Amino acid sequence: MYKQPLDPHLMDDLLIDCQSCSGICCAALYFSKIDGFPQDKKAGVPCVHLCQDGLCAIHSDLTKRRLTGCIQYDCLGAGQIVTQSLYPKATWQEYPDKKERIFSDFVKVFQLQQMRWYLLQCTCLKGIEDLLSDITLLLTEIKSAFINQECLKNCSLPNLHERTNIILKEVSRRFSHQWSERPKKPMFSKKFDHQQFVETDFSMSLLIGSDFKNSQLIRVNFLGADLRQVDFSGANLYECLFLTQGQINAAIGNQKTKLPPYLKRPDSWK
Ligand code: SF4
């Protein structure tokens, strides 16, 4: 399914680097206690644990405190792009008058990074050679949208979204024969362990708490699926499509879980 050899640095600038950020996600976004964050908080208000240097005061305690929302969140590198490239001389802490703009640009860059993540995954696949020139063009356009503040202001997110969706739908069609655009029924806590799934379409599915222990998942599509507390211990996900680090961080797994290229095994997976 994958072209060989894979470029080990393909996703480098989509990996989070909190040290190069100013803690934007911990201030810009709305979050709630019920989703595993320390408090109910409005968008734009810094978390009580966020330090002036943009780092988390309780970072080493997040697991002990069961702050799963904080552990699972992944900005796909949007935080460091905004801090280092778009606003290199002005963090939101130093320039409160720019705060709103910085936060809304972060949300935009996050969406652009999400599109890049999916499109870059497509470039690793065999059998989509005829789509490659469109994908490459779109990737260049998306990346140039955050070269500077002006480009970001002028870029049309709906247009980029629409073109990305067309490509993802086409790739989904080719890799999962059962793929359908129709909404799926929720499948909370379903038993799927020790089974083989080939080209199954779980895109946009609510699979919270389901059990996929020791399953073989071959060319299974997880685009946008809710995988919170889904158990993938011992499962083979190597050939799954459109998984993100955030989905994997929210799931359960172990050392035997086989992940697709470019995804990191969460530290909590023993
Ligand atoms: S607890 Fe730490 S990681 Fe979680 S939102 Fe607050 S500052 Fe961010």
Residue-wise pLDDT tens digits, 215-230: 999 999 999 999 999 9
Is the shortest distance between the CB of 79 and ligand 1 below 6 Å? no
Q: Mean pLDDT of all residues in the chain?
A: 95
Q: Which residue has the higher pLDDT, 180 or 175?
A: 175
Q: What is the pLDDT of residue 90?
A: 84
| Percent of the chain topping pLDDT 70 | 100
Question: Omega before 38 cis (within 30°)?
Answer: no
* Local confidence band at 186 (pLDDT 50, 70, 90 cut-offs): confident
Nearest CA residue ID for atom 8, ligand 1: 26
According to DSSP, residue 5 is labeled S
Pairs from 142-146 (Cβ < 8 Å, separation ≥ 24): 142/112, 142/115, 142/116, 143/116, 145/112, 146/81, 146/85, 146/86, 146/108, 146/109, 146/112
How remote is the CA of residue 70 from the centroid of ligand 1, in Å? 6
In total, the chain counts a number of residues equal to 270
Is the shortest distance between the CB of 29 and ligand 1 below 6 Å? no
Q: What is the pLDDT of residue 176?
A: 82
According to DSSP, residue 39 is labeled S
Is the shortest distance between the CB of 37 and ligand 1 below 6 Å? yes
Q: Rounded mean pLDDT of 170-197? A: 89
Q: Rounded mean pLDDT of 151-164? A: 98
Which pTM value belongs to this model?
0.95
Residue-wise pLDDT tens digits, 91-134: 999 999 999 999 999 999 999 999 999 999 999 999 999 999 99
Is the shortest distance between the CB of 263 and ligand 1 below 6 Å? no
Residue-wise pLDDT tens digits, 14-72: 999 999 999 999 999 999 999 999 999 999 999 999 999 999 999 999 999 999 999 99
Q: Which atom of ligand 1 is nearest to the CA of 69?
A: 4
Q: Rounded mean pLDDT of 77-91? A: 94
177: pLDDT strictly greater than 80: no
Q: What is the pLDDT of residue 130?
A: 97
Please give the Cα distance from 144 to 214 (Å, whole number): 42
Instruction: Give the distance from CA 20 to its chain's centroid.
Output: 18
Q: Which atom of ligand 1 is nearest to the CA of 59?
A: 2
Is the shortest distance between the CB of 73 and ligand 1 below 6 Å? no
Q: Name every residue whose Cβ is closer than 8 Å to that of residue 227 and which is 6 or more positions away in sequence.
A: 207, 208, 247, 248, 250, 251
Q: What is the pLDDT of residue 126?
A: 96
Nearest CA residue ID for atom 4, ligand 1: 70
Q: What is the pLDDT of residue 214?
A: 98
How remote is the CA of residue 183 from the centroid of ligand 1, in Å? 33
Q: What is the pLDDT of residue 160?
A: 98
Residues facing 56 on adjacent strands? 50
